Structure 1
Amino acid sequence: MDTAALVVVVGVAFFFTYTNGFHDSANAIATSVSTRALTPRAALAMAAVMNLAGAFLGQGVAETVSKGIIETPHGSQGMTILFASLVGAIAWNLATWYFGLPSSSSHALFGGMVGAALAGGTDVIWSGVVEKIIIPMFLSPVVGLVCGYLMMLLILWLFRRVNPHKAKRGFRIAQTGSAAAMALGHGLQDAQKTMGVVVLALTISGTQDGNGIPVWVKISCALMLSLGTYAGGWRIMRTLGRKIIELDPPQGFAAETTAAGILYTTSYVFSAPVSTTHVITSAIMGVGATKRVRAVRWGVAKNIVMGWFITMPAAALVAAVVFWITHAIVLAVH
């Protein structure tokens, strides 16, 4: 039973990573596609490769997920909690993908973990949730907005005497690099989150001791994220690439460079699992505001931000319901 439960939970974790990939593929490439710096398929292929590479560049975020959010539960109860956490996150990913809303897969997972843990009577490490999730959730969009605005101002000043058409051609080429950097950061952040859940499952089942990440877990999570990315999330791509603001190549480059820098900093300096969605969306808003504040479609932005706030509670509620149902089934079987 324990082995079967482990296989099911790991399989569901891999499926979550796949949904994370196609849900968040827009984060890395929407700006490059919308400015025609890259064709959609070329952009997705590049993002998939860079996601794969990024997954191997660190493990600080994975350790935060595996030991900093909920107490390690034991036995079938622990497996049920992890299963419910993942199902809650997947349900939210699919719902927001359907409506083209760029919400956070990361916070859906964290919300699911907290909701399932509370439903299962397992302690939540609230200090870790506040320090590693809630504070970065509020700070990262603000930093993205401000840094995106400042980055775009710097570009406008540096290239103020350059012919605009020539500058746009140059930035269209440069966007290939900035999109790759963004995709690498996405792999660095998001693949590790699932690695942390899989390690937690292995620990609960007694398959491994400690929080080290086996190589097969790294490879599997990286591949599933890359496959999901290549599948593409076209609905969300339209929202990020066109509906917030009509981007030109210099703006796309500024937004991607800003977001990538924030992802690397939070991963390596703070080991904090931040949302790539929050970071790139806020950077796009900041970049767009340099044109004029009204150039940003703040109505669309408001809907996106509202989605951010309800992600964790919504995923937590679904995960809690899934836990109760699954727990009842397990008791009935025994």
Structure 2
Amino acid sequence: MVVIAIAGGTGAVGKTIVGQLQLHGPHHKVFIMGRKAPTESVADCPEFLQVDYEDVSSLTKILEDQKIDTVISTVNLKTQAASQSQLNLIQAADRSCTTNRFIPSEFLSFMDEKYVTLYLNQAFLVLHMLNANNSDPSSGLAMGGWIPNALALKKTKLQYVRISVGMFSDYWGMPHIKSNLLPFRVFLDMEKGKAVIPGTGDDKFTVTYSEDLARVIVRLLDTDKWPERLFLSGSDISMNELVACAEKIRGSKIDVAYDAVEKLGKGEATLVWHPEGIPEREFMPLLVGFSLMMISGAGILPHDDRRVDKLFPDLHLTTVEEILVTAWKGK
């Protein structure tokens, strides 16, 4: 049995991990950590630990009092304050005499110092070629506190694993698949039959189902030695391949718009969808950033020994085609 604390366990990714632990890890003891206790109690829900992420000493005491061995963080690192919360949690886990392992909140793209530099150089090169190098291609991307948190982990006694999944494939199956994520129909809206393709559409990017991320984390909890990096990929796919797959499953053509590099270089992109409550002008930089990231080649995870199939060769990850078939075939 492992005693686990899931920081941010009431959020989308946190709920997904809790759900998989309840299904496949009943031999573990699970706590949920957060700033505010849920307003409504849920049957069979793990015990909630209300914490102050700004107080490292109190965090350390809670970890030791509950004999927490493993911390799984799903804290959103988009803001400096949120990044500092995880940095404090890392410090508390390092101080705790009972805590030995830590999974940081990261999950999406592959980020390290060299990779961020490479991506930014590539994106700036695209803009420079377009004589638009006053723009900041990272302005819409949530690089947040990933690198400071990774550097902090390196200095601890903790065993840790940084997990990357690319993009979540859930978004193209909603609302017809199991998912705790909020809608985010970037590039493809299956319901409306619309898509936008940045560049040529031939650039590959990695997508993974959130339930598979949670299943892998459950597997890791029963594994003695962790790699420092782990890459998950349900599919490495291009937008042209994704649209072709969507048309096959729908049995009808997708209405496709193309965003040329020149258009993206001006900070403009075609919106097939944007989140409710967020003005288009605020969502646009994010879409431009994702598009530039894809064109620069930063959307695909490295295909090397850090892929999860090297660690768990028997584990099948859900492909994007399986997501689309489950969600949309016959609809």
TM-score calculated relative to the size of structure 1: 0.28
Instruction: Identify which of structures 1 and 2 has the higher relative contact order when contacts are C-alpha pairs closer than 8 Å and 6+ apart.
Output: 1
TM-score calculated relative to the size of structure 2: 0.28
